Amino acid sequence: MNSDELAQIIEMDGEERYDYFLTQVGEEREIWILVNNESRFLKIASDDGDVEYLPVWPDAVFASAYAEGTDELSPKSVSLPDFFRKWVPGLTKDGLDVGVFPGLDKTVWITEPEELKRDLQDVMSAF
């Protein structure tokens, strides 16, 4: 992916990035998160503290772009079967939502883990 394509995708609005995420993850069967040096995943809280979410990306390059300027965060791959089997129940139990493909402008599509799982399963059934 060249830098023009990258910029074009990053500049999409939240809904367009969500659709792009579903398609890419459906094809690649992996999700990308950011972890710190202690292998703890990045969790973001809304300004008012009402919502906490796990940010996810369709590719390491987007996660890296989001983390640019921080030394502590690096992209980590999570296979889709692991995400469905371990992460979705864990996030649900912990009351965490999923922030799908946060943009550099900090806009993000926030959804419940089970809803994201259903949307991904719908997309994958089309392949």
3-121: what CATH class?
alpha beta
Sequence length of the chain is: 127
- Residue in this structure with the two tokens 């809803």, named with its chain if needed: 115
Average confidence score pLDDT of the chain: 92
Please tell me the predicted confidence (pLDDT) of residue 36: 94
Give the start-to-end residue ranges of the domains of the chain: 3-121
For residue range 46-105, list pLDDT tens digits in order. Answer: 777 788 999 999 999 999 999 988 889 999 999 999 999 999 999 999 999 999 999 878
Integer Cα distance of 49 and 78 in angstroms? 26
pLDDT at 2 exceeding the cut of 90: no
| Paired strand residues for 33 | 76
Integer Cα distance of 65 and 97 in angstroms? 22
pTM of the model: 0.92
- Residue 9 near residue 104, CB atoms below 8 Å: no
